[in-house]
Amino acid sequence: MSTELSLHREAAKATLAKNLSLARSANGLTQMDLADAASVSRATIAQLEGGDGDPRLSTIVDLATALGTSPILLLMGEDELRAIATVPRTDNLVSDEEVEQMRRMVASGLQKQRLQAGRLGADAARAAGLSAVGAAIGSVLMPGIGTAVGAAVGAFLLARRAERRDDE
């Protein structure tokens, strides 16, 4: 495993540990209360809050459900929050016509059309020097603003990752 991948995993574990503990506390739950609500052991909660373990996605979803939140909030760190704050600067990424075209493609329900809508968003983001992957995902979820959010968040996170590599 590359050093970068290992560091990224460790950062994600630390973020999950901090956010899980905060969310549990905000809900007034003990580790045992959360364990019971999420159908996991108290030892699992303690391990995750300590930054150890490698939870399955289903475990993160179960914990988030028990906490009344979204799994993404349990994994969101400072970089992701800062990335979201950059969105207002990118709200005109695609034209109204392109947004309408993406909406029709997504509404068709056809996988091929959904992929094409994602490519439209990705192309617009790429042309603006932003994240094509983030824009593609956002375009299919919510054409227009989703395109901008995905593009901006993805670009910000890629830039932060590059900065960290340069600092090493």
For residue range 36-87, list pLDDT tens digits in order.
999 999 999 999 999 998 999 999 999 999 999 989 989 998 888 887 777 6
- Say if pTM beats, i.e. exceeds, 0.75: no
The candidate with the shortest Cα–Cα distance to 151, out of 105, 94, 95, 99, is 94
Q: How far apart are CA 119 and CA 84, in angstroms?
A: 22
Number of Cβ within 10 Å of residue 76's Cβ equals 16
Alpha helices in the chain (DSSP H): 3-26, 31-38, 42-49, 57-67, 71-75, 78-85, 96-107, 111-127, 132-141, 145-167
Share of the chain above pLDDT 70, in %: 92
Cα-flanking dihedrals φ and ψ of residue 142, to 5°?
-160, 85
Tokens representing 40 are 């996991």
Domains of the chain: 3-76 (1.10.260.40), 84-167 (no CATH)
| Distance between first and last Cα of the chain | 17
**Is residue 134 pLDDT above 80, yes or no?**
yes
Identify the pLDDT of residue 153: 85
Contact assessment for residue 74 and residue 23, using Cβ atoms and an 8 Å cutoff: yes
Q: Are 120 and 113 in contact (CB under 8 A)?
A: no
